[in-house]
Amino acid sequence: MGEEAVEFSVEKVAEDCKQSTVDVGDRTYVIGRSDDDSKSSIIIKILEKLTQTWVVPTVLGTQPTLTESQSAIPVNDEKILIIEKGVPLNESIWFLEIDTPFVKQQRKIKGTEVVSWSKGVIGVGQKPVVISGPSGVGKGTLIAKLMKDYPSKFGFSVSHTTRSPREKEIDGVHYHFTERSKIEKDISEGKFLEFAHVHGNIYGTSIEAVESVTDEGKRCILDIDVQGARSVRASSLEAIFIFVCPPSFEELEKRLRARGTETEEQIQKRLRNARAELDQSNSPGLFDHLLVNDDLETCYENLKLLSLDDDQEDSDDLFIKDGKQTASFCIVSKHDSEILLQPEPNEAKNGATSLLALDLSSLSGGAPGRTRGLKIRSINSF
Ligand SMILES: Nc1ncnc2c1ncn2[C@@H]1O[C@H](COP(=O)(O)OP(=O)(O)OP(=O)(O)O)[C@@H](O)[C@H]1O
Ligand SMILES: Nc1nc2c(ncn2[C@@H]2O[C@H](COP(=O)(O)O)[C@@H](O)[C@H]2O)c(=O)[nH]1
């Protein structure tokens, strides 16, 4: 850690970019804009105050769109809040994760200093549903029915895979069919919620796959194997975990063969893996519900009950969705877990006069890359 320390002074940083500096413990985080080369980017540098050395961290996640400048304030030891200037409020709230469990884990894996971008989202969003079960049990069939019957309620998390497309499978709809080197690079850059080696190929769920569905106000459905379910369970994403069992192993084999999409060798591999997956379906604390897919309609009705349960309205979302907050704001101050925001001066001229209180007391884990649970209230008019 810290081996990437480079020598440059605060004055040099100020020359390079429009920056915010934020003190957290013994460190100063410098967040700014670099115009060094033709493509501008946000640069992050950390000053270790005790040793007066600079560290350039590995930056994970999708960075905010570049704006002229930003205001920033520490939330706690784990996160810095950044509000981008010149952007409507619902697009402008970002967190720089500096010591969250995700960052700690990535720091360990990479052996370097790490920070990670996370987009702030008003409201909590619908809890995703993770569906696992052996190959051929009928997960895809059940999910397709759910999507067809409730297109505005559910959205499918389109996974990435290195396996070749089957006949009738469409890239970007059933899977993102991907080169091994590309998925490995994206995984190392922290863009995946989970990934696993399944039946000889890499399969993975990108953070974007889940969060783009949740951002649309829909409940995201993930069809992933048991290793993937374990990884999601260990992540910050809160979800409902369902395991689908076959009525018997013989029936599973029959369905897999009748589907006619695998070679005999692949069928044998999938059946071997199926035994291991069935063994793990009772792992303590892994799955919330077990469903037996014997009669398809009965199983579908049960899946519907579980997936439609806990349907929650994101009332805070309305605040943003009704178009009130197209103005851009900046940070004024922080009191406990509330941050006071005021419209930027040019916005006040345009009639945006309310101060806003951004309540961070109920932040909840979306996938890494999103910080959900923000609440906003209008607190006065000038
Ligand atoms: N309850 C059921 N009774 C009989 N056949 C079924 C039932 N459910 C699904 N099937 C059939 O079983 C086959 C396998 O189903 P499906 O492709 O949905 O499985 P899967 O779990 O998604 O498999 P994979 O994990 O390999 O993608 C399909 O041909 C499907 O029509
Ligand atoms: N861990 C993950 N497993 C996944 C993902 N997407 C699909 N899967 C699982 O792979 C097998 C095989 O799928 P197939 O389409 O080749 O038949 C199946 O059990 C899926 O649940 C993923 O993103 N991550």
What percentage of the chain has pLDDT greater than the value 90? 58
Model confidence pLDDT, tens digit, residues 340-366: 988 887 776 666 667 888 998 888 766
Contact 368, 116 (CB under 8 A): yes
Contact 43, 33 (CB under 8 A): yes
What six digits make up the tokens of 220?
């995201």
Is the pLDDT score of 314 beyond 60? no
What percentage of the chain has pLDDT greater than the value 70? 86
Residue 256 CA to ligand 1 center (angstroms) comes to: 7
pLDDT of residue 281: 95
Give the pLDDT mean for 294-307.
96
For ligand 1, is residue 138 a contact (CB within 6 Å)?
yes
Q: Which band of pLDDT confidence, cut at 50, 70 and 90, is reported for residue 269?
A: very high
pLDDT of residue 288: 96
Give 48's strand partners: 27, 53
Model confidence pLDDT, tens digit, residues 185-243: 999 888 899 999 999 999 999 999 998 898 888 999 999 999 999 999 998 888 999 99
Residues 77 and 80: their CA atoms lie apart, in Å, by 8
Residue 138 CA to ligand 1 center (angstroms) comes to: 3
pLDDT of residue 343: 85
Complex confidence, ipTM: 0.98
pLDDT of residue 170: 96
pLDDT of residue 330: 87
User: What DSSP designation does 127 have?
Assistant: P
Q: Read off the amino acid at residue 78.
A: E
Helical segments of the chain, H only: 10-16, 89-92, 101-110, 139-149, 180-188, 207-215, 226-234, 249-259, 264-280, 296-308, 315-321, 345-349
For ligand 1, is residue 141 a contact (CB within 6 Å)?
yes
Model confidence pLDDT, tens digit, residues 93-135: 999 999 998 899 889 988 999 999 998 988 878 899 999 999 9
Q: Which band of pLDDT confidence, cut at 50, 70 and 90, is reported for residue 262?
A: very high
pLDDT of residue 323: 44
Is the pLDDT score of 285 beyond 90? yes
Mean pLDDT, the chain, as a whole number? 86
Give the pLDDT mean for 3-8.
40
Among 11-15, 67-71, 257-261, 332-336, name the most confident range. Answer: 257-261
pLDDT of residue 361: 87
Q: Which CATH superfamily is domain 129-308 in?
A: P-loop containing nucleotide triphosphate hydrolases (3.40.50.300)
pLDDT of residue 66: 67
Give the pLDDT mean for 276-305.
96
**DSSP-derived secondary structure for 141-204:** HHHHHHHHH-TTTEEE---EESSPPPTT--BTTTBEE--HHHHHHHHHTT-EEEEEEETTEEEE
pLDDT of residue 5: 41
Is the pLDDT score of 322 beyond 50? no
Q: Which band of pLDDT confidence, cut at 50, 70 and 90, is reported for residue 295?
A: very high
Tell me which residue has its CA closest to atom 22 in ligand 2: 204
Mutate-to-test residue for ligand 1 from 131, 199, 255, highest number of ligand atoms within 8 A of CB = 255
pLDDT of residue 16: 39
With CA atoms as reference, report the closest residue to 354 among 313, 382, 325: 382
By annotation, the residues acting in catalysis are 166, 259, 270
pLDDT of residue 38: 54
Model confidence pLDDT, tens digit, residues 16-65: 347 889 999 999 999 987 766 555 678 899 999 999 999 999 998 888 87
Contact 169, 175 (CB under 8 A): yes
Which residues does ligand 2 sit against, CB inside 6 Å? 135, 139, 159, 163, 194, 196, 198-199, 203-205, 223-225, 227-228
Residues 145 and 160: their CA atoms lie apart, in Å, by 22
